[in-house]
């Protein structure tokens, strides 16, 4: 079974030399556009940092958040980043444990996305704090009853595990780079030498590595599910209509796999084109990834029907107010935009084979990912405008929420930061695992120390 899928996913015969050549070549290509791209990201980050500095000095009042919308864009960003980060565990852990070898060339992409996303999830929470100078109060005075404390520890744990899960399968590749890339700057050689941990490819080293990877992909699963379930509980444990829902945990996890799969498809397209990896990330992989996206979308659709139909049927006082706003009121354009363009249409389109080709699936995935962000916005904000008591004796603009330039600049900076982390890492590490690619093609002798 796995043998057929492996052979299907590999186009053409490649020798070890060709694989190494193909996957290392992009590390030498520091093109003009690459330089422009990195400078562009840095510019966005600098602008965001200035906006954040301004916010630090003036207070969170620079955002559009007020007393009846105490959580805004920053918290929806946080939920979005946590969601995207789960893809690392889906592809590297769940699919591996299910022996779905076709996803091997995509595992590093998904781990890179996971690392960028979870870092920015942590940053988003600190950005949203009124007193970021007191962040250490959480470990110092932490109360175990508070889901924020759970989130604090789970996010940090997931960050550590994500780094380890990215690093472990990198070790043999770094050893290859250490041995082959002797013509790059000294600092880069030093990085390879240090990070390779003296890897020689001995039997004992392989045994330890494979065992460690296995342990990590099992360990990451409960943490991955916890992190997004706990994130959903930030909302579900409140007495608020639209949040106080028992299915929020699985609903959020399902949505997370949707967002992450879309992010991976976009990244696959970019790397395939930029690094000329057509022989490694093939139409077959796009087809498979898009089928995975459809499955996650269908599960998510099922949760959406539960989440909206049941309260929509009973139409209890506040549920009615809330859903009226979502279905027909002020929030309706955004709501239907994300539900139709981010969920229903992608499901229908991706059932057609031509739509699972690289370019169409790139477009669809951009819609799905953007829809996923809007969906978090729709979950976080409108609910707060339907409290038990009417909103009175405050300025009228307290009754709606439109993000300010400060929020948009800071949010864009987190996006740019995540992209920069990924961009810089793929400048020095191969985006497709070299040794796994060789193993999948039946080549087992990669290092001198190896037998055969």
Partner 1 sequence: MKNKSQNKTNDSRRDFLKSSALLGAGAIAGGGILSSCSTEPESNGEKVKLLTATGELVEVDPSQIKKIRKEKLSELAERGREGLVGHHWTMVIDLSKCKNARKCMAACQGAHELLPYQHHINVLQMQDSRSTSPYYMPKPCYHCDNPPCTKVCPVNATFKRKDGIVLIDNERCIGCRFCVAACPYSARIFQWFEPDYTEEERNRIYDVELNVPQKRGTISKCLFSADRLRKGQLPYCVSACPNGVYWFGDKLEDAVTNGTTKETRKFSELIKENAGYTYFEDLGTKPQVYYLPPKNRTFDYEPVKKFLDEDEYPADRS
- Work out whether 135 is an interface residue with partner 1 (CB under 8 A): yes
5 binds partner 1 (CB under 8 A): no
Q: Smaller CB distance to partner 1: residue 62 or 432?
A: 62
Where does 59-146 have alpha helices with state H?
73-85, 87-89, 95-97, 107-128, 137-141
Give the residue, chosen from 390, 402, 448, 451, that forms a contact with partner 1 under the rule CB under 8 A.
390
C-alpha–C-alpha distance, residues 294 and 345, integer Å: 11
Between 349 and 388, how does the x/- string for binding to partner 1 read (CB under 8 A)?
-----------------------------------x--xx
Is 53 a binder of partner 1 (CB under 8 A)? Answer: no
- How many other C-beta atoms lie within 10 A of the C-beta of residue 297? 24
Segment contacting partner 1 by CB under 8 A, of 45-53, 125-133, 167-175, 254-262: 125-133
Per rule CB under 8 A, is residue 441 in the interface with partner 1? no
User: Does 152 interact with partner 1 (rule: CB under 8 A)?
Assistant: yes
- Minimum CB separation of residue 226 from partner 1 in Å reads 17
Please identify which residue in 4, 99, 145, 246 interacts with partner 1, judged by CB under 8 A.
145
Determine the Cα–Cα distance for residues 83 and 79; give it in Å rounded to an integer.
6
Exposed, middle or buried: residue 187 (CB in 10 Å: 0-12, 13-18, 19+)?
Answer: exposed
Q: How far, rounded to the nearest angstrom, does the alpha carbon of residue 85 sit from its chain's CA centroid?
A: 3
Tokens read off for 203: 């039997």
Q: Which of 206, 235, 257, 286 touches partner 1 by CB under 8 A? A: 235
**Contacts of partner 1 in 270-309 (CB under 8 A):** none
- The dihedral sign for the CA sequence 103, 108, 88, 293: negative
Residue 316 touching partner 1 (CB under 8 A): no
Give the Cα separation of 163 and 54 in Å (integer).
32
Q: Which of 168, 174, 343, 159 is nearest to 258 (CA)?
A: 343
Q: Does 394 bind partner 1 (CB under 8 A)?
A: yes
By CB under 8 A, tell whether 392 contacts partner 1: yes
CA separation for the pair 377, 107 (Å, rounded): 29
Q: Which residue do the tokens 């002797």 mark?
A: 182
Residue of 156, 238, 278, 321 interacting with partner 1 (CB under 8 A): 238
The token duo for 333 is 């354009």
In our burial notation (b when 16+ CB lie closer than 10 A, e otherwise), range 359-397 reads ebbbebbebbbbbbbbbbbbbbbbbbbbeeeeeeeeeee
Assess contact for 174 and 196: CB atoms under 8 A: yes
Angle formed by the axes of helices 73-85 and 107-128, nearest 10°: 160
Asked if 17 interacts with partner 1 (CB under 8 A), we say no
Quick one: CA dihedral 359, 364, 367, 372, positive or negative?
negative
Q: Identify which range of 90-98, 101-109, 136-144, 245-253 contacts partner 1 by CB under 8 A.
A: 136-144
Kindly state whether residue 60 participates in binding partner 1, applying the rule CB under 8 A.
yes
CA distance 285 to 191: 32
Smallest distance, partner 1 to C-beta of residue 180, A = 49
Cα atoms in the Cβ-side hemisphere of radius 13 Å centred on 413: 21
| Total count of residues recorded for the chain | 452
**Residue 148 interacting with partner 1 (CB under 8 A):** yes
Among 25, 39, 58, 445, binds partner 1 (CB under 8 A): 58
Q: What are the phi and psi torsion angles at 29 (to 5°)? A: -85, 90
Contact with partner 1 (CB under 8 A) among 3, 13, 131, 204: 131
Q: Which stretch binds partner 1 (CB under 8 A): 6-14, 62-70, 291-299, 355-363?
A: 62-70
Q: Choose between 17 and 396: whose C-beta lies nearer to partner 1.
A: 396
In the set 37, 68, 225, 370, which binds partner 1 (CB under 8 A)? 68
Task: Determine contact, residues 55/63, Cβ cutoff 8 Å.
Answer: yes
147 belongs to the binding site for partner 1 (CB under 8 A): yes
Q: Cβ of residue 50: shortest distance to partner 1, in angstroms?
A: 15
Q: How far is the CB of 59 from partner 1 (least distance, A)?
A: 5
Question: Using CB under 8 A, which of 246, 354, 396, 451 touches partner 1?
Answer: 396
Alpha-carbon gap, residue 164 to 111, rounded angstroms: 10
Q: Which of 2, 11, 146, 203 binds partner 1 (CB under 8 A)?
A: 146
List 234, 236, 416, 446, residue binding partner 1 (CB under 8 A): 234
Select the residue interacting with partner 1 from 46, 97, 98, 129 (CB under 8 A).
Answer: 129
- Write out the residues near partner 1 by the rule CB under 8 A: 58-63, 65-68, 70-71, 128-131, 134-135, 137-138, 140-143, 145-149, 152, 234-235, 237-240, 243, 384, 387-399
């Amino acid at each position: 079974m796995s043998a057929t899928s492996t052979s299907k996913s590999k186009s053409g015969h490649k020798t070890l030399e060709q694989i190494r050549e193909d996957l290392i070549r992009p590390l030498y290509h520091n093109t003009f556009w690459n330089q422009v791209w990195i400078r562009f990201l840095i510019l966005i980050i600098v602008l965001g940092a200035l906006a954040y500095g301004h916010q630090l000095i003036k207070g969170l009042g620079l955002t559009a958040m007020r007393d009846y919308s105490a959580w805004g864009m920053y918290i929806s960003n946080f939920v979005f980043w946590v969601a995207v980060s789960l893809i690392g565990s889906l592809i590297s852990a769940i699919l591996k444990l299910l022996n779905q070898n076709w996803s091997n060339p995509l595992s590093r992409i998904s781990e890179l996305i996971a690392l960028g996303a979870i870092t920015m999830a942590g940053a988003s929470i600190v950005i949203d704090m009124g007193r970021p100078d007191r962040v250490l109060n959480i470990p110092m005075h932490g109360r175990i009853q508070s889901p924020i404390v759970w989130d604090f520890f789970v996010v940090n744990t997931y960050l550590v595990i994500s780094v380890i899960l990215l690093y472990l399968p990198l070790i043999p590749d770094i050893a290859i780079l250490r041995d082959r890339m002797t013509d790059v700057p000294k600092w880069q050689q030093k990085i390879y030498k240090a990070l390779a941990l003296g890897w020689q490819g001995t039997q004992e080293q392989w045994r330890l590595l494979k065992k460690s990877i296995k342990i990590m992909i099992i360990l990451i699963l409960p943490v991955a599910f916890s992190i997004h379930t706990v994130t959903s509980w930030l909302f579900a444990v409140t007495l608020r209509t639209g949040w106080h829902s028992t299915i929020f945990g699985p609903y959020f996890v399902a949505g997370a796999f949707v967002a992450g799969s879309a992010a991976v498809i976009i990244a696959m397209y970019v790397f395939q084109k930029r690094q000329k990896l057509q022989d490694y990330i093939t139409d077959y992989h796009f087809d498979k990834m898009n089928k995975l996206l459809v499955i996650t979308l269908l599960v998510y659709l099922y949760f959406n029907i539960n989440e909206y139909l049941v309260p929509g049927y009973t139409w209890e006082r506040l549920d009615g107010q809330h859903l009226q706003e979502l279905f027909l009121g002020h929030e309706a354009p955004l709501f239907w935009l994300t539900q139709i363009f981010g969920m229903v249409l992608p499901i229908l389109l991706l059932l057609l084979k031509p739509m699972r080709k690289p370019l169409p699936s790139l477009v669809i995935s951009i819609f799905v990912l953007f829809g996923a962000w809007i969906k978090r916005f729709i979950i976080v904000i409108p609910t707060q405008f339907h409290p038990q008591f009417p909103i009175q004796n405050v300025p009228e603009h307290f009754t709606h929420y439109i993000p300010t330039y400060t929020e948009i600049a800071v949010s864009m900076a987190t996006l740019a930061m995540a992209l920069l982390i990924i961009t810089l890492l793929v400048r020095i590490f191969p985006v497709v695992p070299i040794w796994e690619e060789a193993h999948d093609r039946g080549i087992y002798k990669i290092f001198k120390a190896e037998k055969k």
